[in-house]
Amino acid sequence: MKKLKMRTIVLSIIAAGLAAGCGGGSGGTAGTGSTAAPSSAGNTSTSNGAGGTPGTGSAPDTGSTGNANSAPGSKATTWSSVKWGGGGYVTGLIFHPTTANLLYARTDIGGAYRWNQATSSWTPLTDGLGFGAAESKYHGIESIALDPNNDQLAYMATGMYTFEGNGRLYISSDRGDHWAYVDLPFPIGGNNSGRAMGERLMVDPNKPSTLFYGSRTAGLWKSADAGKTWAQVTSLASARMTQDQVNAVGGSAMGVELVVYDTGTKGSGTATQTIYAAIAPDYASAAGLSANMYKSADGGATWAPVATPVSGYHIPHMTRAADGMFYVVFTKDAGPGAGGPGRFYKFDGSNWTLLKSEDPNGGTNFGLGGVSVQGSGATARIALGVTNSWGSWNGQQIVQLSDDGGKTWREIEATMPGETTSGWVDDVEIDPSNRDHILHVHGGGIVETRNASAATPSWNGAISNIEETATLALTAAPAGAPYKFINSAGDIGTWLQTDLASKPTLGPTPNWSNGNSADMAWSDPLYIAGAGVANWSGAGGFGFWSGDGGKTWSNFAALPAGAQANTGSAGNMVVPSRNNVVWAPANSVPSYTTNSGASWTSTNLPALAVVGQGWDRGYRLAADRKNPNKVYAYDSGGAAWATAGKVYVSADGGHSFALSQGSVAANLAPNAYWATSMAVNPNAEGDLWLADGNTVYHSLDSGASWSKLNNFASGAGLQGASVIALGKAANGAKYSAAVYVVGTVNGVWGVYRSDDAGASWTRFNDDAHQFGGIGVMAADQSTYGRIYVSGTGRGLLYSN
């Protein structure tokens, strides 16, 4: 998946926490990358539940909280992923050097995974405590390190963007099933440019209590106590790049790109003395360093520059063979999918030998990415990733293989059978226990071959249970519809999910696009309309509809005012009935069509004022499912510092609206679009629910008056109530729908359910299932207790 748009998408997801009206939030505190940090890492906390997801990471699961009483049905303790398959950038693969099949994957926005050989699938490791709603930025994994002496021990450096402030180091003694974490004294950028470089974090094989970390903005750091505290290695450099310096290099500093130990032993008890560190051009300039590589011969006490055959290049990967020979990649650009020129050398500590070059040629600009070596000397097997080489054709390069130490090369992926992927080949790994098993990352996940020595190796995706899509809107279908929900997502577009275990096939376009919103006519669910962004062409916003349940699609012949230019995800669309659509593009006055988009007419809703800081805002729409003439529009204010929220009501299918004075009297908290939610009870006319980011409101008279529920409250960086959905009621329930709210009760964040119209609430998820926060949610209309949620970079998940 191309991630050119993903930074904006992820920032929208993270900003949900920032906009809670309580400060902080899942986005963390914006950091400059230049504030002096203590040598100690500071706070240490413990988390558990590798199978879990977003939550507070600190408050225990109390089950029923506040006046939340027991309710029909049980808590959802098992969850499954809705099938897409990958959908996001896996930035690194880390094998344990001696334990067969022990492999970890790190992603840029979706956390980390461990390979399960028994099931041939990946186990998510960052779903539970420590990865809650206020901690979504820690789903950006910048580096993972393993202890060669102890295959249970794993370290993981996390943080989405360096501007968000300092990162965390997570430490596990059971292969990621449980984590403790330490606050690091420097920023981490798991979704910044150059995120496949490394590894930046390394454990000393001989003295595993010693770790080094190559940071992006603050130089090299060392821990002498297994990661608990950290001190800057000032003997290399003491410079910390300011935010102005980071901005001057494009907003993403590369810093110290990797650390490599020069040793073939482990467990000696004496620290490895010879260490190499690669220095990016940006940090070399900021720190006054003279070279792009430095060497220490005394365990990091002192450092000396190493003369490299090219200068001013990045060194994304460097690996040591069994005989002590180093293999080093140089590429001009930082990546992902770095362009060239690219150079690949071997280095014996004194002499450099060129093994491969890539230069711009005939319209191509190939770079070099990942490298892996097995064996040594004249028979060393080397797998080398070629980056920015798009497509699969005769003469193309994706993965180059040498079985003679780099003297000769052959292509093993382009034009080969199976699933071949190119472009972002930024990490390549040869399985230490099987030289014919070669894997590499790409923008949509991982591919592998298990017969690399064959004349025509076959390739397949290795992404089972890795789900890294970013859903922006989710609409559940009525009972009896031929699909379960409509998924509108960043980068992959809009799709109808007919089978939770199969990748969807029904959608308006397979091209690279964003899906921003979609809806169906409730009494006629074969009629569907949606809005998206045509990333593939750069044409901006577009709309589409289907009259046959997604089998065929047509684009709207015309677009309403604001739809083409305002492509942010703070846009919304509802379908009161067939052919009738109301569309509220971001930052725009909503418009309606009565002819499936052949023409549009503006509604009378007020124009939205700009709230600042580049934030999009928009009207959140809801169509009454019992009376198609009623449409509701909610203006959340746009930001916590803006004006109070308001609700407008239409009695003519969304053509004209009147302000609900009851919503004014309710004094709805101002909040960002993505921190708020509105939903109707599909089983009762005029039954409307609203989450204003802080708490929940309920109206039984089509928005004329509102009752405030006092169960939910914001605090400690957590939103009180951000998402609301209504689904099938429990058998015998007094209220006609089960109500689900993503929010905080008595300081405990989670999903809460009420079966009695909000009189009582019980926590529905548990601490093991928090998913880095929940951005969107829909409730099934056929199965009680089933909801669909999006985690931070975790795709869609559903409760069992």
Give tens-digit pLDDT for 693-715. Answer: 999 999 999 999 999 999 999 98
| Active-site residue flag, 359 | no
Q: What is the mean pLDDT of residues 115-136?
A: 96
Measured in whole angstroms, the distance separating CA 152 from the mean position of its chain's CA atoms is 26
Please report the sign of the dihedral spanned by the C-alpha atoms of residue 463, residue 465, residue 470, residue 473. Answer: positive
User: Residue 574: which pLDDT band, with cuts at 50, 70 and 90?
Assistant: very high
Across the beta sheet with 103-107, the strand order is 90-95, 103-107, 112-116, 121-124
Q: What is the pLDDT of residue 766?
A: 95
Q: Does pLDDT of 51 surpass 60?
A: no
Which tokens hold the place of 380? 């060393």
**What dihedral angle (degrees, nearest 10) is formed by the CA atoms of 617, 622, 628, 629?**
-50
Place of tokens 């920023």: 187
Catalytic annotation present for 177: no
Angstrom distance (rounded) from CA 181 to CA 157: 9
Residue 35 pLDDT greater than 60, yes or no: no
Q: What is the pLDDT of residue 302?
A: 98
* Rounded distance between C-alpha atoms, residue 114 and residue 154, angstroms: 11
Residue 745 corresponds to which tokens in the numbers above? 């009760």
For residue 104, list its beta bridge partners: 94, 114
Partners of 727 in the β-ladder:
738
pLDDT at 478: 98
Q: Which of 147, 333, 426, 491 is catalytic?
A: 491
| Among 8-17, 190-199, 637-646, the least confident range | 8-17
Average pLDDT of the residues of the chain? 92
pLDDT digits (tens, 9 = 90+) for 519-559: 999 999 999 999 999 999 999 999 999 999 999 999 999 99
Chain segment 342-397, per-residue pLDDT in tens: 999 999 999 999 999 999 998 899 999 999 999 999 999 999 999 999 999 999 99
Q: What is the pLDDT of residue 378?
A: 97
Written as one letter, the residue type at 182 is V
Cis-peptide into 336, omega within 30 deg = yes
Q: Where are the beta strands (DSSP E) in 640-734?
A: 646-650, 658-659, 677-680, 688-691, 696-699, 707-709, 721-727
Two structure tokens written together for 696:
């929940």
Enumerate the β-bridge partners of residue 546.
528
The whole-number pLDDT of residue 72 equals: 60
What is 139-207 written as a DSSP string? G-EEEEEEETTEEEEEEEEE-S-GGG-EEEEEEESSTTSEEEEEEEEEE--TTSTTTT----EEE-SSS
Name the active-site residue from 61, 108, 431, 624: 108
Across the range 606-634, mean pLDDT stands at 95
**pLDDT at 52 (0 to 100):** 34
pLDDT score, position 41? 37
Is 798 in a helix, a strand, or coil? strand
Can you give the pLDDT at residue 313? 98
Q: Which residues pair with 517 in a beta bridge?
A: 531
